[in-house]
Chains A and B, each alone.
Chain A
């Protein structure tokens, strides 16, 4: 079948077997191999992408269902030679070892920070109504859908917290300008 997918702001026409998952479409047809396949069953988070700004597992959905959607992958977060703040923080805090879960972690963290900003509570949030104060346990809880067998969790949490703090510092200033 023919479909058009909009990935990282670019619409691209594809000829696909209707059984193709969104993950396989990205990896095999668009050569966007930054999105990884660790289980193909929604159990590891390596395939995390942003679908209309929200994080999902690309292995759990068919490409054919997403003609009208905005899809963002790791390749769309920042140019390869100029990593964004979160990516730089992962690098500095060694939030990875083998690197295989890493794009999924980073895309997931991007979506997670947005959820926190929007006030979504988590299982460990003390108050369902209040603004979310991201701390170690909030980040660990919200990132537990992304497995890392190298167990770089310490660095992952540090990288995300540092990025969240930087953003907090920047935002009020921007608002004041």
Chain B
């Protein structure tokens, strides 16, 4: 049976009433043993009988058409089975949640590195050799490679807001800030490269993939191949990181499926690290102008946030840079606007916290500047500008502990010891400073389904096509079911990552835990009702603990109640009107201490703290890891991460992990993470909100604000390179 629930009104906090006591606990990941012993199998590790190996061939021009590929020469090479440039092959990855195929047709080249063919051979060595040897000639066409000079610039209406009169407010303000901040293009660079193993049985395709949102991916793949969705099954039980880059299908899935069909053999296609950088989605560079106006009491009267981003022509996605600026601070005069430059670079898309990850850097830097201009403590200034109601829509807020997070973080970090005057602390060559920034990330939920079965032996099985990309899905779905059904987590099995199972939200936008978690909750709530019915009592009287159901003076073991046949319920969660009634977001505060070397210009983050409030925390351990990871991403954004594109042809210059610098272990300082106790009744029936992206949303700004405190240098270009420090000292 299916239990449907739409979030139209707040729900009782059932997870605070249940007796098992496992929700929120810092439980170890149930799939963790597979991961630490090397037994967890990722997509490329399905080595199938008779499998052939495919290697994608990359375009070596920035824009043009393939005029000729010398396939004959390559076909004659040892082991080569075929060269494919089917018109169904993808030019770009699908946008997250698209559910339809993205642009297809490998003959038209729209950016350097775009896949133009697939070479398949018996072994990976042969395929790679042949792919390198394939001579492709192009009719080159002029392209637009520089976002600042692009010929076509779109101004999406959905990003434009003009409320009150920003110019007048600026002109009449007690203090103003008008600054421009830039952020570099960034790549998700998940450790597992994109990979697919495709195998057909008759006209049914099974694809071992590494993807984040399987129900959408299945629809995208079917659409791209021109087959029915029912013919496609995707398996993705373990995903070696996604961070947005695996939201939609990419070239390898379609290419593997097409070649496997043509050859009648399983085909594996694994992207090289270089191809991951060149042809999967990355985060746009941004140029952001922030304007703030404040009165003599330190109250904001105006906020302007205008930005310029880029994407390929015709691609609908644009980074929602000002996303949290809309709701975070007061100010009656507001202007937001966006320019999207159309350039021939690999497609941009969602990378961890699209919008806030870069928008909060600009906003929180400007807030620091305004606090100083007003002579106010940065925390006091922010607290003074927390609005009563959404300053644009007038909505009230759901649970919002921004002030509490700043106060808690300040206490833990020792904020009161900060000297607000810059460049006051020195240790040898090093200038020491501390800084803070607010954290905010919109809260999203989306439709999700899961089946929960109470088996004859009294254990439970949770099944959904939800993914665990490192986020802790296996743990939290287990804990929700264990808590609701009164079982020890060892008695709950969670199966994920298979499109044969009920379709979930997928992992993306920090919505997975609340959405998929709520579907499990809804299914379990229905099971509790059935159990209560079998005991002859009302569900409100029911207590489930350690496999025993108790109500009034009746008592039974769960396996006795399920003895006549397993009880199974499918739960369906849908977002409802509470989404519109209130403004929902997760909040927090970052604190950082940096040491900046006056001789070399190097910046080291010495310690970092974050206090967060994201509704109910479902697993304190995995949530903490998510926040720590996000904060370390913040360090990368602040100090090292930058994709470099050649202005002549748009190719990615630093297309590997030696050239693109993600933080290493020695870059990560001790990081403290604290969660404030919170329930967000408007978010979902389990009162949780998103946590996976919160830890990055503003983190880098705390570091640049600390650099200012250390050195007196107000830097606004991310990442901060040593030369930026040295050129100003």
Number of A-B residue pairs with CB-CB distance less than 8 Å in the complex they form: 185
State how many angstroms separate the Cβ of B669 from the closest Cβ of chain A: 9
Q: Is the pair A94, B629 in contact by a Cβ cutoff of 8 Å?
A: no
Q: Is the pair B670, A91 in contact by a Cβ cutoff of 8 Å?
A: no
Task: Tell me the bound Cα distance from A83 to B36 in angstroms.
Answer: 8
Residue B577 is within 8 A (CB to CB) of chain A in the complex: no
**Size of the chain A interface, CB-CB below 8 angstroms:** 63
Interface residues of B in 18-48 (CB under 8 A from A): 28-29, 31-42, 44-45, 47
Q: Which residue of B lies closest to A43 (CB)?
A: B657
Q: Is the pair A98, B241 in contact by a Cβ cutoff of 8 Å?
A: yes
Residue A38 is within 8 A (CB to CB) of chain B in the complex: yes
Residue A117 is within 8 A (CB to CB) of chain B in the complex: no
Instruction: Determine which of B35, B125, B193, B663 lies in contact with A37 in the assembled complex, contact meaning CB atoms within 8 Å.
Output: B193
B624 partner residues in chain A, CB cutoff 8 A: 94
State how many angstroms separate the Cβ of A76 from the closest Cβ of chain B: 9
Known contacts A97-B625, A140-B666, A140-B668: does B272 contact A153 (CB below 8 Å)?
A: no
Q: Is the pair A155, B37 in contact by a Cβ cutoff of 8 Å?
A: no
Residue A148 is within 8 A (CB to CB) of chain B in the complex: yes
A37 partner residues in chain B, CB cutoff 8 A: 44, 193, 270
- Which of B184-192, B448-456, B702-710 is found at the contact surface with chain A? B184-192
Task: Report whether over half of chain B's contact residues are helix, strand or loop; otherwise say mixed.
Answer: loop
Q: Is the pair B665, A20 in contact by a Cβ cutoff of 8 Å?
A: no
Q: Which residue of A lies closest to B629 (CB)?
A: A151
Known contacts A33-B41, A41-B658, A80-B37: does B240 contact A100 (CB below 8 Å)?
A: yes
Interface residues on B, range: 35 or more
Q: Quick one: CB contact mask for A67-97 with B, threshold 8 Å, 1 for yes?
A: 0000001110111100100011011101011
Task: Tell me the bound Cα distance from A144 to B272 in angstroms.
Answer: 22
B668 partner residues in chain A, CB cutoff 8 A: 140, 151, 153-154
Q: Is the pair B38, A91 in contact by a Cβ cutoff of 8 Å?
A: no
Q: Is the pair A40, B664 in contact by a Cβ cutoff of 8 Å?
A: no
Q: Is the pair B662, A149 in contact by a Cβ cutoff of 8 Å?
A: yes
State how many angstroms separate the Cβ of B698 from the closest Cβ of chain A: 16
Residue A17 is within 8 A (CB to CB) of chain B in the complex: yes
Residue A141 is within 8 A (CB to CB) of chain B in the complex: yes
- Which of B328-336, B465-473, B517-525, B677-685 is found at the contact surface with chain A? B465-473
Residue A65 is within 8 A (CB to CB) of chain B in the complex: no
B124 partner residues in chain A, CB cutoff 8 A: 24, 28
Excluding A24-B124, A36-B191, A39-B656, 19 further A-B contacts by CB distance (< 8 Å) are A17-B123, A17-B126, A36-B192, A37-B44, A37-B270, A41-B656, A87-B36, A90-B32, A92-B28, A94-B624, A96-B35, A96-B470, A98-B241, A98-B470, A100-B192, A136-B670, A144-B666, A153-B668, A154-B625
Of the A-B pairs whose beta carbons lie under 8 Å apart in the complex, a sample of 11, sorted by A's number, is: A36-B42, A39-B656, A41-B658, A43-B656, A91-B28, A94-B621, A98-B239, A99-B470, A106-B36, A147-B657, A149-B662
